[in-house]
Amino acid sequence: MQFTAREDIEAPINAVFEMVADFERFERMAMRRGIEVRRLSGHMGVVPGTQWETEFKLRGKPRQVAIEMAECDPPSLLRFDAVSKGMNGVTIIEFLALSQRRTRLSVDMSLAARSLPARLLLQSLRLGQARFRRQFQFRLSEFAREMEERHLHGG
């Protein structure tokens, strides 16, 4: 199962990359949404091998997901691999400079089941796929507008 979303952002590629690679900010956002996040690697930089453990509830059940930054090629690519009980995920974030002040941000997320319960969960997600795709694109659009504001106001 795969989801892709794209947004053009009125900010230079290096600024967009830095904002997306602000992992501490994403960790805080996740915690505010009730997701437990623990960074396992000691360094706070943007380097391959950085790992997180997360725990959250999905459909009433606690889920644990281990995430690792598998690849980092500033300012053009970030790749994260996620593993949970019975499921694998890959998220690739690509940055393309459209001009000196405009960047295209593409997010590609794929999920694959490794067990029967995970296949059933993915199947139920497929039923709501259109809604999830719209929500995925909407969230990326909101994030893009927020990045434009942060860049414009130096925040």
CATH for 66: 3.30.530.20
Domain that holds residue 92: 2-152
pLDDT for res 45: 77
- Taking the chain (155 residues) in runs of 10, the rounded mean pLDDT of each run is 95 97 92 94 80 91 94 97 96 98 97 92 86 92 95 83
Spatial separation of the C-alpha atoms in residues 97 and 15, rounded to whole Å: 11
pLDDT for res 41: 79
pLDDT for res 95: 98
Total structural domains in the chain?
A: 1
**Residue 2: Cβ-neighbour burial (10 angstroms; 0-12, 13-18, 19+):** exposed
Q: Do 53 and 40 touch, CB atoms closer than 8 A?
A: yes
List, for residues 50-69, the tens digit of each pLDDT value: 999 999 998 788 999 999 99
pLDDT for res 155: 61
Cβ partners under 8 Å of residue 106, min gap 6: 4, 5, 6, 92, 93, 94, 95, 96
Q: Do 109 and 118 touch, CB atoms closer than 8 A?
A: no
List the helix and strand counts (H, then E) for the chain.
4, 7
Structure tokens at 152: 């414009």
pLDDT for res 46: 85
